[in-house]
């Protein structure tokens, strides 16, 4: 992993590496120096190697990276972003690349196989020219240990208040503007916004303009979002575009009722009114009404939260997901990985 920031790709990397280490997979983890992941990976018994991974013409990092692969005697190499995929020399080990939201195909030329966390990403890679026989759809790896909620007082939020939590990059396609409009329609609700991004100042300005700033907390980037989700009364996934539905799974893992805009990822995961509530994309009024509904019908909120947790436990926790990864990596190693159409 050649980036040091802590976003969705970095969480996927870290959670997968940690989960594999707990299943006795020997790993040499290479990360960018000053990465937020260092302390957490060390706490799991891993000893990451740090490299500078400068933006351009960093031949020293490339040479050291490939030397680490050679000295470790790796059977498989997983590259977690296109920039590092492009630096791995061909032939030293089987090379698996992680498909990001965009797909610069020229940076994956030394990969033998790819994996993606959504069908949309698989389709985008195939449309760009990648062979559908050499890309596999895999589930996301998420934290599935028991999760304790953070104390609400940490962020000056009353225990008696109804708390809505949203996790996402602060960009407009995440639908945070719509969520804030919905919160403005409801009294007594606090909002925690977890994440950062280029539209952060604009969104804070909107919160001030519509009168919800006193009960809105912009928490910035967090290394571990799960204790924040566990503190919520309701988790909201308002994104206009979301092909994975990671926040739905995180809410389910914490047994929290979830409301989501009917984007691709949440729409495929949630059974409406059974394991969550789906609302039209970009519709603040419908979102506000859904929040009111869950607050007024406590039994219903508890039922969909329990159904979500049951769905997570059955198909998405590490006991279910990690065996799939072990099988996938073994198949790649022997050149028999299943293409996406077989998943």
pLDDT of 185 = 97
**Largest Cα span, the chain:** 61
CA angle 239, 216, 200 (to 5 degrees): 55
pLDDT of 5 = 58
Burial of 23 (C-beta count, 10 Å sphere; 0-12/13-18/19+): exposed
Rg (Cα) of the chain, in Å, rounded? 21
pLDDT of 341 = 42
pLDDT of 10 = 85
CATH 3.40.50.2000 residue ranges of the chain are 8-142+319-342, 152-313
Tokens for 130, please give them: 């990648």
pTM exceeds cut of 0.75: yes
Separation CA 28–CA 32 (nearest Å): 14
pLDDT of 145 = 80
pLDDT in tens for each of the 343 residues of the chain? 887 655 778 888 999 999 999 999 999 999 999 888 898 899 999 999 999 988 777 889 999 999 999 999 999 999 999 999 999 999 879 999 999 888 999 999 999 999 999 999 999 999 999 999 999 999 999 987 889 999 999 999 999 999 999 999 999 889 999 999 999 999 999 999 999 999 999 999 999 999 999 999 999 988 889 999 999 999 999 999 999 999 999 999 999 999 999 999 999 999 999 999 999 999 999 999 999 999 999 999 999 999 999 999 999 999 999 999 999 999 999 987 766 544 4
Q: Which residues of 304-326 are buried (b: 16+ CB within 10 A; e: fewer)?
A: bbebbbebbeeebbbeebbeebe
pLDDT of 284 = 98
Beta carbons of 173 and 146 less than 8 angstroms apart: no
Separation CA 94–CA 112 (nearest Å): 6
Superfamily (CATH) of domain 152-313: Glycogen Phosphorylase B; (3.40.50.2000)
Taking domain 8-142+319-342, whether its CATH number is 3.40.50.2000 is answered by yes
């Amino acid at each position: 992993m050649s980036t040091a920031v802590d976003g969705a790709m970095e969480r996927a990397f870290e959670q997968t590496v940690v989960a594999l280490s707990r299943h006795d997979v020997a790993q040499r983890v290479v990360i960018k120096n000053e990465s937020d992941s260092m302390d957490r990976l060390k706490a799991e018994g891993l000893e990451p190697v740090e490299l500078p991974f400068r933006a351009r013409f960093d031949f020293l990092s490339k040479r050291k990276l490939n030397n680490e692969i050679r000295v470790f005697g790796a059977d498989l190499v997983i590259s977690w972003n296109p920039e590092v995929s492009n630096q791995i020399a061909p032939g030293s080990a089987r090379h698996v690349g992680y498909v990001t939201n965009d797909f610069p195909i020229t940076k994956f030329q030394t990969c033998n196989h790819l994996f993606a966390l959504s069908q949309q990403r698989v389709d985008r890679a195939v449309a760009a020219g990648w062979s559908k026989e050499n890309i596999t759809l895999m589930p996301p790896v998420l934290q599935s240990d028991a999760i304790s909620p953070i104390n609400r007082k940490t962020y000056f939020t009353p225990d008696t208040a109804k708390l809505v939590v949203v996790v996402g990059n602060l960009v407009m396609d995440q639908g945070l503007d719509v969520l804030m409009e919905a919160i403005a329609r409801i009294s007594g609700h606090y909002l925690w916004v977890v994440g950062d991004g280029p539209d952060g100042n604009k969104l804070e300005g909107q919160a001030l303009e519509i009168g919800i700033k006193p009960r809105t907390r912009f928490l910035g980037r967090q290394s571990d979002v799960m204790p924040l989700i566990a503190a919520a009364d309701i988790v909201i996934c308002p994104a206009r575009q979301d092909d994975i539905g990671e926040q739905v799974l995180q809410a389910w893992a914490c047994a929290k009722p979830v409301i989501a805009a009917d984007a691709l990822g949440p729409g495929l995961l949630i059974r409406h009114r059974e394991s969550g509530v789906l609302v039209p994309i970009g519709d603040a009024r419908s979102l506000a009404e859904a929040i009111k509904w869950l607050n007024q019908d406590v039994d219903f909120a508890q039922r969909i939260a329990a159904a979500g947790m049951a769905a997570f436990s059955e198909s998405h926790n590490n006991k279910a997901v990690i065996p799939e990864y072990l099988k996938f990596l073994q198949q790649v190693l022997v050149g028999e990985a299943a293409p996406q159409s077989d998943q």
